[in-house]
Amino acid sequence: MGTALSFSRPRQARADDSALHERRRDGGEPRVPRRRRWWLLGIAVVLAAGAASGNYVLIAGQDERVDVVVLTRDVGWGQRIGDGDLGIAKAVPDQGLSAIPAADRAGVVGQVARSALPAGSVLAPRQLSAQPVPGPGERLVGLVVKPGHLPARGLLPGDLVQVSPVAGGTGADLGQPSVSVSGPFDARVVGTGPPDSTGAVTVDVVVGADAASAATGAAAGQVVVVQLGPGS
């Protein structure tokens, strides 16, 4: 007679057994699934959108740049500009500065600098002159101007001004006798020097031959400098 064999199916694991096993292994209650922090995801999306917007604005601003003429080396006052002094760079148009476009580079060659210009300067028409400074029939005069006797913003090369001599001692020594005071005269600013210990600055101006005598007398005394507007 043969031996009777019996087979039993293996016991299937149940979800309850798994949970019980987890609880026993941790020595406590079954783990509670963590909640997803959706607000963190929202912040990440907002930051990514802000970065993309900033990049777009930056790229759009770069696209607005135009080619302008710049100096590649220092140019002194009264020096003629050569082609080797010039370069081309991109710049965002400035409403307050009429920069010379790259297409007009050839017209800059041979021009004279109205003031000392450092390398890297974006050139503007008012910084240049076709004639040496001073030009034919002109006079270059330095005027010592006290604080409060010129605009607070300062004066720039090319500014048109009216110079009015005032009664008093000389600019160097107020104890000296008064000099003769002439009437006001118009001039063009070439440059300004650094302030001295009293805050006074020397303003170099160019005047025509008709105002040469008045400018010479004004240089020996005190003056008030008023900036003139266009068409004055």
Give pLDDT tens digits for 165-184.
987 654 444 444 444 567 89
Last residue of a domain, one of 79, 99, 129: 129
Give the pLDDT of residue 221: 87
In a domain, 143, yes or no: yes
Q: Are residues 90 and 154 in the same domain?
A: no
Q: Are residues 216 and 154 in the same domain?
A: yes
Q: Is the separation of the CB atoms in 84 and 108 below 8 Å?
A: no
Give the pLDDT of residue 135: 79
52, burial (CB in 10 Å: exposed 0-12, middle 13-18, buried 19+): exposed
Q: 53 by DSSP, 3-state: which? A: helix
Number of domains in the chain: 2
Last residue of a domain, one of 129, 156, 184: 129
Q: Are residues 124 and 162 in the same domain?
A: no
In a domain, 40, yes or no: no
Q: Are residues 144 and 91 in the same domain?
A: no
Q: Are residues 122 and 168 in the same domain?
A: no
In a domain, 4, yes or no: no
Alpha-carbon distance of 211 to 213, in angstroms, equals 6
Can you list the alpha helix ranges (DSSP code H) found in the chain? 15-26, 38-63, 105-108, 212-219
Residue type, 35: R
Query: What average pLDDT is seen over the chain?
Result: 78
Q: What is the mean pLDDT of residues 111-137?
A: 86
The single residue listed with the structure tokens 């008030």 is: 224
Q: What is the mean pLDDT of residues 99-126?
A: 90
Which residue range forms the structural domain that includes residue 159?
138-227
Q: Are residues 144 and 221 in the same domain?
A: yes
- CATH classification at residue 82: 3.90.1210.10
Q: Are residues 143 and 208 in the same domain?
A: yes
Q: Are residues 94 and 144 in the same domain?
A: no
In a domain, 27, yes or no: no
Q: Are residues 159 and 196 in the same domain?
A: yes
Give the pLDDT of residue 205: 92
Q: What is the mean pLDDT of residues 26-41?
A: 58
Last residue of a domain, one of 81, 108, 129: 129
Q: Are residues 119 and 146 in the same domain?
A: no
Q: Are residues 92 and 144 in the same domain?
A: no
Q: Is the separation of the CB atoms in 140 and 204 below 8 Å?
A: yes
In a domain, 51, yes or no: no
In a domain, 169, yes or no: yes
105 pLDDT exceeds 90?
A: yes
In a domain, 172, yes or no: yes
In a domain, 180, yes or no: yes
Q: What is the mean pLDDT of residues 46-62?
A: 68
Question: How many other CB atoms are there within 10 angstroms of residue 149's CB atom?
Answer: 18
Q: Are residues 143 and 223 in the same domain?
A: yes
